[in-house]
Amino acid sequence: MEQRCPICSGGTYSEHIRLTDWLCQQFWQRAGPGLSGLTCMAFGAEKLLLTDANLEVLNLCKENAKINSKFSNDVKVQLLDWLYPDQLQAVPEVYDVIIGSDLVYDPDIIPNLINVLESLLTDTKQIAYITSTVRKSETFNTFIELLEKSPFLSFSTMDISEITPTVVHSFEQRPVVKLNIIAKKELDSV
């Protein structure tokens, strides 16, 4: 007997897993850049801003939004280079959720990433989910150390390496992947 899903309205776990698998297959056809954001749109996000510092990646994001999204009018694509903090002022509005993937790869840009998070997380109701493949533990540890030193951010880290990808190919050697959940500190904590 299958278990009913307590968090979703009806259905069984296997139905939800199959639906998620199907959705991922639809997006995976051409997604790559913007996949996480487009998935959020499929699950009800009202608006989406995809950013990168690389124009080729931004063009892929535009193409992926067009191909994979029935709601491409609600998807904006914008240049955002962390090395130029003035570009943060061009972010058009406040977003409830910030998702970042593969951002912690170079120790030299991590302080800029922290600045971006401090600038964009302006309300305690906002949250950021940052996933990182740990290529060099020193680089990831630098990220954690700077998060700990931030007077404005609180965070927790989860190891999500053991989550089995259902759509993507299997890895010969499973990489270490960490998920950091980051929020603005409560005023009492600052």
The CATH superfamily assigned to 82-190 is Vaccinia Virus protein VP39 (3.40.50.150)
CA 175/CA 100 separation, integer angstroms: 17
CA 150/CA 116 separation, integer angstroms: 12
Give the model confidence (pLDDT) of 54-87 as tens digits. 898 888 888 888 886 676 778 888 898 888 878 8
Domain boundaries, the chain: 12-79, 82-190
Helix/strand/coil for 132: strand
Give the model confidence (pLDDT) of 89-116 as tens digits. 888 788 899 999 888 999 999 999 999 9
